[in-house]
């Protein structure tokens, strides 16, 4: 089973920042996951929350700030004062960390609160420009976005993200046109995905931070887990 570092090596470093990605790039994990949004002036940046207060000294919505305003903010101190002054990264900066590595990249396109028109086109252009498309899995909780990605770039790998516990996911994936399904640990534990796997769906599960959950997902036959503690899961996998 593959291991993806969730928001970079977010257990030990401030999530979705270059220190977290550089640390992840040095690990023998198969992949890394991160979230993309767009600034007021159209720059693609990597950040999870659509608001700023949890992970920076800023407040309000990210979309209301220009890139240069966001670069003034500190995205590291909330994690530990040793990360003081860590800046928000651009998508391009994050992609370049992995340009010459083996890692798969799961780019989650955030549209939970804010609709960023055509954001997927802008993201795909940057990925294509760096010739990294073969290593990217696009995903979104916004299934209108997922269907659009599948329509405009059918050769890309695109996954539908789910939070709730659902049934007949394989049939749902077939309906929208993908076999790549990213679901929460809670949904994977309680749902009935074993049959969906047998039918050919590929499941990746977030966020798996305990070794007993890793083992349960492996037994179930999921393809990959997203984790904040890749060091813990790598050690466990190695010793199995
Ligand atoms: O893409 C998997 C996972 O990251 C989705 O949830 O809220 O951590 O972005 P969230
Ligand atoms: Ca995410």
Tell me: pLDDT of 143 over 90. Answer: yes
- Spacing, Cα 228 to ligand 2 middle (Å): 11
Whether residue 48 lies in the annotated active site = yes
Nearest-CA residue for ligand 1 atom 3 is 206
Nearest CA to ligand 1 atom 2: 206
Average pLDDT over residues 211-225: 98
The mean pLDDT of 27-52, rounded to a whole number, is 97
Does pLDDT of 9 surpass 90? yes
Please tell me the distance between residue 90's alpha carbon and the centre of ligand 2 in angstroms.
16
pLDDT at residue number 26? 98
Contact between 18 and 29 (Cβ < 8 Å)? no
Q: Which ligand is nearest to the CA of 31?
A: 1
Is a pLDDT exceeding 90 seen at residue 56? yes
Per-residue confidence at 167, pLDDT binned at 50, 70, 90? confident
Any catalytic annotation for residue 103?
no
Average pLDDT for the chain:
96
Query: Which atom of ligand 1 has the smallest separation from the CA of 35?
Result: 9
CA dist., res. 187 & res. 110, Å (int): 20
The predicted structure's pLDDT at residue 112: 72
The C-alpha angle 160, 124, 97, rounded to 5 degrees, equals 100
- For residue 114, the model assigns a pLDDT of 74
Can you give the pTM of this predicted structure?
Answer: 0.97
Residue 48 beta carbon below 6 angstroms from any ligand 1 atom: yes
Q: Which domains are seen in the chain, by residue range?
A: 2-49+91-239 (3.20.20.190)
CB neighbourhood size of 83 (10 A): 17
Residue 126 is predicted with a pLDDT of 98
**Tens of pLDDT, residues 100-136:** 999 999 999 998 767 778 899 999 999 999 999 999 9
Q: How many Å apart are CA 44 and CA 64, to the nearest integer?
A: 13
Contact 17, 237 (CB under 8 A): no
What average pLDDT does this structure show over 182-188?
96
Q: What is the pLDDT of residue 44?
A: 97
According to the model, what pLDDT value does residue 53 have? Answer: 98
Average pLDDT over residues 11-16: 98
Contact between 219 and 211 under an 8 Å Cβ cutoff? The reply is: no
């Amino acid at each position: 089973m593959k291991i993806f570092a969730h928001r970079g090596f977010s257990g030990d470093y401030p999530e979705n920042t270059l220190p977290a990605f550089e640390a992840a790039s040095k690990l023998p994990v198969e992949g890394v996951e991160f979230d993309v949004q767009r600034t007021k002036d159209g720059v693609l940046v990597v950040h999870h929350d659509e608001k700023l207060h949890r992970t920076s000294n800023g407040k309000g919505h990210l979309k209301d700030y220009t890139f240069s305003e966001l670069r003034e903010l500190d995205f590291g101190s909330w994690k530990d004062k040793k990360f003081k002054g860590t800046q928000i990264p651009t998508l391009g900066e994050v992609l370049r960390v992995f340009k010459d590595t083996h890692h798969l990249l799961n780019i989650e396109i955030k549209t939970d609160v804010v609709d960023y028109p055509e954001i997927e086109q802008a993201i795909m252009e940057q990925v294509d420009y760096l010739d990294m498309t073969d290593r990217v899995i696009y995903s979104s909780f916004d299934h209108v976005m997922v269907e659009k990605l599948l329509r405009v770039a059918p050769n890309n790998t695109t996954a539908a993200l789910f939070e709730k516990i659902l049934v007949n996911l394989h049939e749902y994936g077939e309906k929208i046109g993908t076999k790549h399904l990213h679901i929460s640990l809670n949904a994977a534990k309680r749902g009935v995905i074993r049959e969906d796997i047998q039918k050919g769906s590929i499941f990746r599960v977030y966020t798996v931070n305990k070794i007993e959950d890793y083992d349960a997902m492996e037994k179930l036959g999921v393809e990959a887990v997203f984790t904040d503690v890749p060091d813990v899961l790598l050690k466990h996998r190695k010793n199995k």
